[in-house]
């Protein structure tokens, strides 16, 4: 049984008033009018209100003691986390020179009468470079000899001087057209301006050609797909533009040319897409840079804020003006001491002063209230005074190089809402976020700290048990929930971990936590997967094989028939239908669903009887006539699982139930 925090006095305002009225006959029998209109009762209510306020403060004493105990063991309330979003800057036109968007450039949402602007800041410089095409190649993947490459010899101009065929004469899957770019165009918006032969790519669906644009990224990824924004050529059938958003690129040598590579690869033709019967041809080709994408976070940067002047004593405190402060970047965010003789000294943030030596320039920072504290001096048992950290010289001016404040759930804005550039940048026409901002979180509450403190004491900085892995994984920004699968937990199948293996299942954060959640919002990104692996690799036991994966999503569709009272008006019927569907989407939700409202549990099966009980609790529902369930392992009903009418949806240990399409009929 959990320990309950006691109330030192559980009386409230009305209790105090009633108690005082009951004492009136004992002290003053002549006072017989106890109505609220009596002046004496007014005074009783006034003093009762003052006493109620006093008792409220008294009852905060246990929480204050709890906070002090948490501080004693080194547990502090965590600062808010800033939401992150990729921001794309579009140029007014392709430029012949490089265009640089500096770090800390601010982009915001539109300010309205009811909500202020939400400001995001770029995390690094973005340089948009004009592309130079060194050469072009066609690769025949099906050719058996040792010369599958055909070089098109663009020359020094980088332009086509003659008609060229993009693919081999008999195109097939794997054939590709390569462009060698001189410079790095990672995260660029590239426009390929093409003059194509009319209807040169016969046989394909112009709206969905079987091609994939990719860039060389190296490593285990090798070729990474580009995001196709627009294809105005209809699969190389008419002249037009192809707009691509490139991921990170790496340099590589192919056919004696060291360059950054962009390619168009033929894929297997699916039903309805068709395949190229002959190779399309180009007469002209030009590549332009139309913009670029950079990471941003929900934060406002403050540069070189002056904190004050040191008096030379240990344990000094200073206040930063803006809160809550986000986690510091040690490379950019630090305290600077300017001594009276003009020397600049750099100070480093530490979690506490336990390991600080007298000469260490250390400070601690409370991110929530902005209090910066320098190392104290303490009397030791032998009578000596030991300094935990240095003290700035008397007269030194202290300033903070840079810090950022902001963060919170409010920063999880929707796609396309970050569109206001706070300062004018030459050649930049517009900005937007092509993906929703995610991973924003409010500052930690005291109740959450009470739950996390035992986990922190038990786990510290190492991952041994399954609970350790789950706790540490959830500390990575962008992770909503995690489940650790360890061998031997229960009889499993061949996909379960073997001795020496640990599988960590990660549910990413998303702003779309209501209704039917699109699959792309639930997909674990490569960046988040890498962040989790790096975080756990530093803490796991040596010899443990770690694998990070996303859940196996089980998409459940429900069809229900409900009955309401006879002769109910149409508005009531529509309202019941809407609330019933909302209840279904909310219950079968990986973030806010499940029996406890904190997300559908990993590995928990679904019984049809639960749905009967859920729908029966909807107001005005007399009874539930029928509930049918259908299951799919992909959103939209593809790859169907158990047939409609199944009574139980079985879920594997790493599975997670999500809502697909629900239909409710009200009679």
pLDDT tens digits, 369-409? 899 999 998 888 887 888 899 999 999 999 999 999 999 98
Q: Is the pLDDT confidence value at 145 over 70? A: no
Confidence of residue 127 (pLDDT cuts 50, 70, 90): very high
pLDDT score recorded for residue 61: 66
Tell me which of 27, 43, 59 is where a domain ends.
Answer: 59
Query: 262 and 154 in one domain?
Result: yes
Q: Which residue has the higher pLDDT, 338 or 168?
A: 338
Which pLDDT belongs to residue 278?
82
Nearest to 497, CA basis, from 505, 485, 506? 485
Q: Is the separation of the CB atoms in 457 and 73 below 8 Å?
A: yes
Judged on CB neighbours under 10 Å (0-12, 13-18, 19+), 5 is: exposed
Among the listed ranges 112-126, 345-359, 424-438, 450-464, which one has the minimum average pLDDT value? 450-464
The pLDDT of residue 5? 57
Residue 599 has pLDDT above 80, yes or no: yes
User: Do 189 and 54 have their domain in common?
Assistant: no
Residues 514 and 571 in one domain: no
Domain count, the chain: 5
User: For the residues 111-125, what does the mean pLDDT come to?
Assistant: 90
34-56 pLDDT per residue, tens: 888 888 888 888 888 888 888 77
Report the candidate in 53, 27, 52 with the shortest Cα–Cα distance to residue 40.
27
Distance, in Å, from the CA atom of 62 to the CA atom of 6, rounded to the nearest integer, reads: 8
The average pLDDT across 579-603 equals 89
Indicate whether 194 belongs to any domain: yes
Same domain, 256 and 317: no
Query: Of the given ranges (45-49, 473-477, 642-646), which has the lowest mean pLDDT?
Result: 642-646
Q: Are residues 256 and 331 in the same domain?
A: no
pLDDT of residue 548: 94
Examine residue 141 and state whether it is found in any structural domain, yes or no. Answer: yes
Are residues 364 and 383 located together in one domain of the fold?
Answer: yes
Q: Please state, in angstroms and rounded to a whole number, the distance separating the CA atoms of residues 618 and 390.
A: 64
Nearest Cα residue to 403 out of 328, 307, 297: 328
Does residue 49 belong to any structural domain of this protein? yes
Assign 428 a pLDDT band (cuts: 50, 70, 90): very high
Distance CA 200, CA 202 (A): 6
Q: What is the pLDDT of residue 462?
A: 82
Residue 283 lies in a domain: yes
Is the pLDDT score of 554 beyond 70? Answer: yes
542 strand-pairing partners: none
- In this structure, are strands 501-508 and 545-549 parallel, antiparallel, or unpaired? parallel
In a domain, 657, yes or no: yes
Residue 369 lies in a domain: yes
Looking at the structure, tell me whether residues 140 and 249 fall in a common domain.
Answer: yes
Span of 512-516, 590-594, 638-642, 658-662 with lowest mean pLDDT = 638-642
Q: How confident is the model at residue 161 (pLDDT cuts 50, 70, 90)?
A: low
Mean pLDDT of the chain: 85
Confidence at residue 8, expressed as pLDDT on a 0 to 100 scale: 61
Per-residue pLDDT, averaged over 411-421, amounts to 90
pLDDT tens digits along 176-222: 899 999 999 999 999 999 888 887 777 777 788 888 899 998 876 68
How far is the CA of 588 from the CAs of 30, 547, 609, 611, in angstroms?
Answer: 65, 27, 14, 10
Q: Is there a contact between 391 and 336 (Cβ–Cβ < 8 Å)?
A: no
| pLDDT tens-digit map of 500-525 | 889 999 999 876 666 788 887 888 98
We report the CATH number of the domain holding residue 478 as 3.30.300
- Verify that 366 and 495 share a domain, yes or no: no
Judging by beta carbons within 10 Å of its beta carbon (0-12, 13-18, 19+), is residue 113 exposed, middle or buried? exposed
Percent of the chain residues past pLDDT 90, beyond the cut: 36
Is 263 in the same domain as 252? Answer: yes
**Domain termination residue (choose one: 406, 433, 453):** 406
What pLDDT score does 303 carry? 92
Residues 137 and 247 in one domain: yes
pLDDT greater than 70 at residue 460: no
CB 418 within 8 A of CB 431: yes
Residue 367 above 80 pLDDT? yes
Q: Does an H or E element contain 103, and which?
A: none
pLDDT band of 633, cuts 50, 70, 90: low
In this prediction, residue 556 has a pLDDT band, given cuts at 50, 70 and 90, of very high
Whether 3 shows a pLDDT value over 50: the answer reads no
Instruction: Note whether residue 74 is domain-resident.
Output: no
pLDDT surpasses 50 at 307: yes
Band (267; pLDDT cuts 50, 70, 90) = confident
Are 285 and 370 part of one and the same domain?
Answer: no
Scanning 443-507, the segments in alpha helix (DSSP H) are 446-459, 466-474
pLDDT at position 1, please?
Answer: 33
Higher pLDDT, 486 or 5: 486
Full domain range(s) for residue 273:
133-289
pLDDT reported for residue 547: 92
Reply yes or no on whether the pLDDT at 259 is more than 50.
yes
Q: Which one has a higher pLDDT value, 172 or 612?
A: 612
Whether 251 and 384 map to the same domain: the answer is no
CATH of the domain at 205: 2.60.120
Rounded Cα distance, 546 and 513, in Å = 29
Asked if residue 119 is part of any domain, the answer here is no
% pLDDT > 70, the chain: 90
Confidence of residue 262 (pLDDT cuts 50, 70, 90): very high
**Quick one: DSSP state of residue 440?**
-
């Amino acid at each position: 049984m959990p320990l309950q925090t006691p109330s030192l006095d559980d009386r409230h305002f009305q209790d105090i008033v009633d108690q005082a009225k009951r004492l009136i006959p004992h002290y003053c029998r002549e006072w017989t009018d106890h109505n609220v209109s009596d002046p004496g009762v007014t005074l009783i209510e006034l003093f009762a209100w003052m006493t109620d306020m006093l008792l409220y403060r008294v009852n905060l004493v246990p929480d204050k003691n709890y906070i002090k105990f948490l501080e004693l063991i080194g547990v502090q309330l965590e600062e808010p986390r800033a939401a992150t979003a990729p921001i794309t800057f579009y140029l007014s036109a392709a430029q012949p020179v490089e265009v640089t968007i500096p770090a800390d450039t601010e982009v915001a949402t539109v300010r309205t009468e009811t909500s202020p602007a939400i400001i995001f800041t770029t995390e690094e410089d973005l340089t948009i470079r004009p592309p130079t095409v060194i050469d072009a190649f066609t690769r025949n993947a099906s050719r058996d000899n040792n010369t599958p490459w055909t070089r098109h010899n663009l020359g020094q101009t980088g332009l086509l001087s003659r008609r060229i065929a993009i693919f081999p004469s008999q195109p097939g899957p794997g054939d590709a057209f390569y462009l060698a770019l001189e410079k790095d165009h990672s995260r660029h918006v590239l426009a390929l301006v093409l003059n194509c032969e009319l209807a040169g790519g016969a046989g394909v669906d112009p709206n969905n050609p079987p091609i994939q644009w990719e860039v060389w990224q190296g490593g285990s990824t090798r070729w990474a797909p580009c995001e196709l924004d627009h294809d105005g050529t209809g699969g190389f059938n008419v002249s037009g533009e192809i707009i691509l958003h490139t991921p990170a690129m790496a340099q590589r040598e192919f056919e004696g040319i060291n360059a950054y590579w962009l390619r168009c690869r033929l894929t297997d033709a699916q039903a309805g897409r068709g395949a190229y019967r002959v190779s399309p041809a180009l007469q002209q080709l030009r590549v332009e840079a139309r913009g670029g994408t950079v990471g941003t976070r929900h934060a406002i940067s403050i540069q070189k804020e002056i904190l004050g002047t040191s008096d030379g004593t240990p344990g000094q405190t200073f206040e930063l003006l803006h809160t809550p402060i986000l986690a510091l970047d040690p490379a950019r965010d630090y305290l600077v001491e300017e001594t009276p003789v003009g020397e600049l000294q750099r100070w480093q943030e530490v979690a506490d002063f336990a390991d600080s030596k007298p000469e260490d320039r250390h400070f601690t920072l409370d991110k929530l209230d902005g209090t910066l504290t320098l190392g104290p001096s303490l009397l030791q048992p032998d009578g000596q005074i030991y300094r935990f950290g240095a003290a700035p010289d008397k007269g030194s001016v202290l300033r903070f190089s840079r810090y950022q404040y902001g963060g919170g759930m409010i920063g999880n804005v929707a796609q396309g809402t970050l569109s206001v550039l706070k300062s004018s940048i030459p050649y930049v026409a517009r900005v937007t976020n092509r993906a929703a901002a995610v991973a924003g979180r409010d500052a930690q509450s005291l109740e959450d700290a009470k739950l996390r403190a035992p986990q922190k004491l038990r786990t510290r900085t190492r991952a041994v048990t399954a609970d350790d892995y789950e706790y540490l994984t959830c500390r990575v920004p962008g992770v909503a929930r995690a489940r650790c699968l360890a061998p031997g937990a229960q009889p499993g199948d061949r996909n379960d971990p073997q001795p020496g293996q640990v599988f960590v299942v990660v549910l990413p954060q998303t702003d779309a936590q209501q209704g039917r959640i699109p699959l792309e919002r639930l997909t674990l990104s490569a960046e988040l997967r890498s962040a989790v692996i790096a975080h756990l690799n530093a803490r796991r036991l040596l010899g443990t094989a770690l694998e990070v994966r996303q859940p196996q999503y089980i998409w459940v569709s429900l069809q229900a028939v409900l009955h309401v009272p006879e002769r109910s008006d149409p508005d009531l019927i529509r309202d019941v239908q809407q609330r019933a569907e909302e209840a279904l989407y909310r219950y079968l939700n990986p973030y806010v669903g499940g029996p406890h409202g904190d997300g559908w549990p990993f590995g928990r099966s679904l019984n049809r009887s639960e749905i009967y009980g859920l729908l029966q609790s909807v107001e005005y529902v007399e009874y539930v006539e029928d509930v049918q369930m259908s299951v799919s392992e992909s959103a939209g009903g593809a790859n169907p699982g158990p047939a409609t009418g199944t009574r139980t949806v079985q879920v594997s240990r790493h599975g997670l139930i999500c809502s697909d399409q629900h239909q409710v009929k009200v009679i």
